[in-house]
Amino acid sequence: MNQLTSLFKILSDETRLRILFLLYQEELCVCQLTGILKMPQPKISKSLSKLRDLGLVSDDRREKFVYYSLKRESKALMKILEDLDQDIISYPVLLEDRKGLENKEYFLSQCGPGECEEGIL
C-alpha cells in the first residue's frame, strides 16, 4: 500500500505529473523538458531527481546530454498515463505539453553549457 500512496503523492504535484506524461510519450533531456513546460531548469531537475529516486524514471548519458525515460514497471502508473493519453482533450495543459514535443529539437539546440549535464542534478 505504501507504493500506491507514494505514487499518488508524486502524481499530486503538477510538475511531476506533466514530466511523467511527457516521458510516457518519449525520452527527453532537461533542456527539452524546461522548454516544453516553460519552467526553470532547477525546478525540472529537482522533480526529475525525485522521480529517479522513487524509481519511476531512468537517465542515460549521451555526449553532453542526459536523457530521461519512463520506467514502465509500475502497472498503476502506466494505466493512469494511458488513460490520460486516451482522453487528452479533457486535459488542455497536457495537450499543450504534448504539442510542445514538436519543438523538442529546438529546445535541445538552446541548451546552455552544463544545463543537461548529469552533474547539475
The pLDDT value recorded for residue 81 is 97
Q: What is the pLDDT along the chain (121 residues), one digit of tens a residue?
A: 788 898 999 999 999 999 999 999 999 999 999 999 999 999 999 999 999 999 999 999 888 888 999 999 999 999 999 999 999 999 999 999 999 999 999 998 877 665 565 444 4
The Cα–Cα gap between 61 and 64 comes to: 7
43/74 Cα distance (integer angstroms) = 24
Q: Is the pTM of this model over 0.85?
A: yes
Position 21 scores a pLDDT of: 98
What structural domains and CATH numbers belong to the chain?
2-111 (1.10.10.10)
Give Rg (Cα) of the chain.
14
